[in-house]
Structure 1
Amino acid sequence: MTDDVLLVHGGTPLEGEIKVRGAKNLVPKAMVAALLGSSPSRLRNVPDIRDVRVVRGLLQLHGVTVRSGDEPGELVLDPSHVESANVADIDAHAGSSRIPILFCGPLLHRLGHAFIPGLGGCDIGGRPVDFHFDVLRRFGATIEKRADGQYLEAPQRLRGCRIRLPYPSVGSTEQVLLTAVLAEGVTELTNAAVEPEIEDLICVLQKMGAMISMDTDRTIRITGVDRLGGYNHRALPDRLEAASWASAALATKGSVFVRGASQREMMTFLNTYRKVGGAFEIGDDGIRFWHPGGPLNAIALETDVHPGFQTDWQQPLVVALTQAAGLSIVHETVYESRLGFTSALNQMGAHIQLYRECLGGTPCRFGQRNFLHSAVVSGPTTLQGAELVIPDLRGGFSYLIAALAAQGTSRVHGIDLINRGYENFLQKLEKLGGKAERP
């Protein structure tokens, strides 16, 4: 199928302006939160991406009316008539996404039962779903494993509990929030994720009537309430997409104004971008990123949970680091298999060596477990066009950046995967002068 293939002609700097809308890591979760309400919710700044379409379909299967609002990128979600959905229909909708597991808590509250099929998502390392089920059991749910998935029941009202996460996982934190808000009593979650998208989800739930407090030590306390209403919310901008275009500007020696990008959620990225030698200018309505000329600087970089350097920022930036003078060290501490994408960059002419050791100041949970989770990038190197197969969402965008920065033409397979998290990326690419076409 040539529909999923893109021919990219490299060597042209990206120049111009694109717009980012609401964060992929918030919008689908805010849509799920609407299930908890007794009245309609209004969500604005919604991007047109596949994950949004998947969740919209799943909500509609469960009786939620979802329609477009008055302004572009606005959804109105009415959960007045929530109902059970057909197992086969759920499976057909959910195959390409991991978000359905977050339906568990809201459906247990609304219907007393839920069904979750096998889950998809990007193959970037272990993202065990067992912990989600363990959490739900702590709240009082019973779970039965069946051939086609997991069947959950809440024989009585779910009850608040104390939970300590072994790692500050975003998905597990979301599961606890979406379940605890209507559970009886107080839930205390320690070692929680505190990403900006988590804070924004808490803002959504608070607008609905939830009682949630966050402490500075990663502790979140949720006091369950008897009922929640709807919300009216504008999603925070997608800082991960904004950083991807910033790295593309740097790697192609271009200049890109990202309308909608926000400084507050990107401070750690901006510091690192400046260290590498990238330039940026922050305005009220966005951030302009550009390559100021001259050589880029090699850096040492460790990914971490927020407020550290986000793992989703790492892959696009590594492409820019292939153009930096000297040895850059990258220590990935969040996903053990996230550096696998570098083999394709080496095929294009990059010099990247992977190591099992923790090549950073912080020993991490992968250090003793035989994972290639550290990289040394030697540059600058001239990249050449190649045949590329996209492995995952951020790796896919990174391949696109590499192809744009390379000499010659690359054939990129699997570009549909990029649609999961980047709205209209082909139109945006064209707007920036990127030379790409379907074969």
Structure 2
Amino acid sequence: MGLAGDKITIHGGRPLSGRIELKGAKNLVTKAMVAAILGETPSVLRDVPDISDVRVVRGLLDVHGVKVTSTEEGVLMLDPSNVESAHMADIDAHAGSSRIPILFCGPLLHRLGEAFIPDLGGCRIGDRPIDYHLEVLRQFGAVVEKQPSGIRMSAPNGLKGTKVHLPYPSVGATEQVLLTAVRAEGITELRGAAIEPEIMDLINILQKMGAIITVDTDRVIRIEGVDRLEGYSHTALFDRNEAASWAAAALATEGDIFVGGARQGEMLTFLNVYRKVGGKFDIHDDGIRFYHPGTELNPVIIETDVHPGFMTDWQQPLVVALTKARGVSIVHETVYEQRFGFVDALVEMGATIQVHKECLGGQACRFGQRNFNHSAVISGPTKLHGADIVVPDLRGGFSHLIAALSAEGTSTVSNVGIISRGYEKFITKLEQLGADFVLEG
């Protein structure tokens, strides 16, 4: 599994039922692997999912001289004792469209005094995110040179603590500051920080390594730089996005799925919305059981937000379930400008969904009056029917899988390899839950 051209033919209309197990969060594990570069001794990371994003980071670590070995399934040992500069071409070959190379910069500047990243041009990452990362690194004292083949960074005078105020609580920018500030000389103050559970787990890892990090109220994080960090031993936080995706699948297919490894605390906001929709759940010590109530579902009004709000990655799978609710649901997306492209396929399958440029159902947000389709109105209940679908992206792709599984008739979903970027062994899990499908290479 993992070829972008993979195709799956699904015979829908069967409830998904059974138990699946979660591993660590994609959004934490890949950053924890990068953090290992900062240690003077090897690190051990457990509950690592077998997904393509992890393989990308493993390749990048390898070209930088970090020895990565898998001692048993889901466990990685990362030995950074021979960290070295990598050639642009090698980094480019392993990175693909990944944004991860930008997070290597702070740790590499500390270890080697220099870092390179290939040209992550606008078509791949967009100008704003990379420029913002570069500006943050400059604030720490990095010298950034844009060259035809990419970007070279150096720190002739070492990196110094600084004050950073994020205009929006960006997860990537917060990670950049944390990974750079822990070894920078002096104190770094980060205002407007992201405080997602994956960020807090990264802070836990850095503290295990010897970092001094204080998380204050009002999104303020202070980091006191230290001279040396050791390796860590850590079990990764479970993947909240995958948990919510299977929960939505249980609702959409009128099924019953026990999600092993899911925890209540990090799912609090999702569970409240799930209950409002009419979904049932039982909290257990080893996971959460999600199941359909057997009665009609309720419409809801949702506004996505940064943590502790309703995650943007949760809305796409839940929208599929909302096509089954009686009445009108509204989803206002405030985190990403263009997150409703996936609904075109749902409409083709029989859903009644209208997308609007206005801020509907909540407060005016930063995308209002800017010609972004960022609000969706879902009218239901509608019966979905089979269709031919091409997966556009990771979360949208899983939503299309859920739609096909809940639809009457047969659907062909192409490009499902993208889904393996963030969902470990999802084909095996579909088998475990009794889905009726055929996978074609």
TM-score bucket of the superposed structures, by smaller chain: over 0.9
**Residue number in structure 2 paired with 1:61:** 63
**Residue number in structure 2 paired with 1:434:** 435
If the length of structure 1 is used for normalisation, what is the TM-score? Answer: 0.97
Q: Give the Cα separation in 2 of the matches to 1:159 and 1:46.
A: 33
| Structure 2 CA distance for partners of 1:120 and 1:435, relative to 1, 3 Å | farther
Deviation at 1:229, TM superposition (A): 0.4
Which 5+ residue runs of structure 2 have no aligned equivalent?
none
Structure 2 contact 88–150 (Cα < 8 Å) conserved:
no
Q: Give the Cα separation in 2 of the matches to 1:125 and 1:224.
A: 31
**Residue number in structure 2 paired with 1:7:** 9
**Residue number in structure 1 paired with 2:25:** 23
Q: Which amino acid in the other structure matches residue 364 of structure 2? A: P
**Residue number in structure 2 paired with 1:368:** 369
Q: Give the Cα separation in 2 of the matches to 1:126 and 1:238.
A: 28
1:89 aligns to 2:97 (yes or no): no
Q: Which amino acid in the other structure matches residue 21 of structure 2? A: K
Q: Secondary structure of 1:360's match?
A: coil
Deviation at 1:122, TM superposition (A): 11
Pairing of 1:349-428 with structure 2 (within 5 A): 349-428=350-429
Q: Which amino acid in the other structure matches residue 420 of structure 2? A: N
* Superimposed CA distance per residue, residues 229-276 of structure 1 (whole angstroms, 9 cap, x where no aligned partner): 000100010011000000000000000000001111000000000000
**Residue number in structure 2 paired with 1:37:** 39
**Residue number in structure 2 paired with 1:147:** 148
Q: Give the Cα separation in 2 of the matches to 1:20 and 1:109.
A: 34
Deviation at 1:134, TM superposition (A): 0.5
Q: Secondary structure of 1:264's match?
A: helix
Deviation at 1:127, TM superposition (A): 6.4
Q: Give the Cα separation in 2 of the matches to 1:397 and 1:123.
A: 21
**Residue number in structure 2 paired with 1:315:** 316
Structure 2 contact 302–361 (Cα < 8 Å) conserved:
yes
Q: Give the Cα separation in 2 of the matches to 1:44 and 1:402.
A: 33
Q: Give the Cα separation in 1 of the matches to 2:160 and 2:115.
A: 17
| Structure 2 CA distance for partners of 1:429 and 1:121, relative to 1, 3 Å | farther
Structure 1 contact 125–338 (Cα < 8 Å) conserved:
no
Q: Give the Cα separation in 2 of the matches to 1:111 and 1:205.
A: 19
Q: Which amino acid in the other structure matches residue 271 of structure 2? A: L
If the length of structure 2 is used for normalisation, what is the TM-score? Answer: 0.97
My pick for the range that moved more, 121-130 or 388-397, is: 121-130
Structure 2 contact 44–233 (Cα < 8 Å) conserved:
yes
Q: Give the Cα separation in 2 of the matches to 1:77 and 1:171.
A: 22
Structure 2 contact 99–125 (Cα < 8 Å) conserved:
no
* Superimposed CA distance per residue, residues 292-348 of structure 1 (whole angstroms, 9 cap, x where no aligned partner): 111100000000000000000000000000000000000000001001111110010
Q: Tell me the matched-pair count.
A: 438
Q: How high is the sequence identity, in percent, across the aligned residues?
A: 69
| Structure 2 CA distance for partners of 1:151 and 1:2, relative to 1, 3 Å | closer
Pairing of 1:2-401 with structure 2 (within 5 A): 4-69=6-71, 71-119=72-120, 128-401=129-402
Deviation at 1:124, TM superposition (A): 10
Structure 2 contact 250–257 (Cα < 8 Å) conserved:
yes
* Superimposed CA distance per residue, residues 175-234 of structure 1 (whole angstroms, 9 cap, x where no aligned partner): 000000000100000010000000000000000000000012100000000010000100
Structure 1 contact 33–106 (Cα < 8 Å) conserved:
yes
Structure 1 contact 125–335 (Cα < 8 Å) conserved:
no
* Superimposed CA distance per residue, residues 15-62 of structure 1 (whole angstroms, 9 cap, x where no aligned partner): 000000000000010000000000000101111111111111111111
Q: Which amino acid in the other structure matches residue 10 of structure 2? A: V
Q: Give the Cα separation in 1 of the matches to 2:180 and 2:372.
A: 34
Q: Give the Cα separation in 1 of the matches to 2:312 and 2:260.
A: 23
Deviation at 1:375, TM superposition (A): 0.6
Q: Give the Cα separation in 2 of the matches to 1:310 and 1:141.
A: 33
Task: List 4+ stretches of structure 1 deviating above 6 A.
Answer: 120-127
Deviation at 1:10, TM superposition (A): 0.6
Deviation at 1:96, TM superposition (A): 3.0
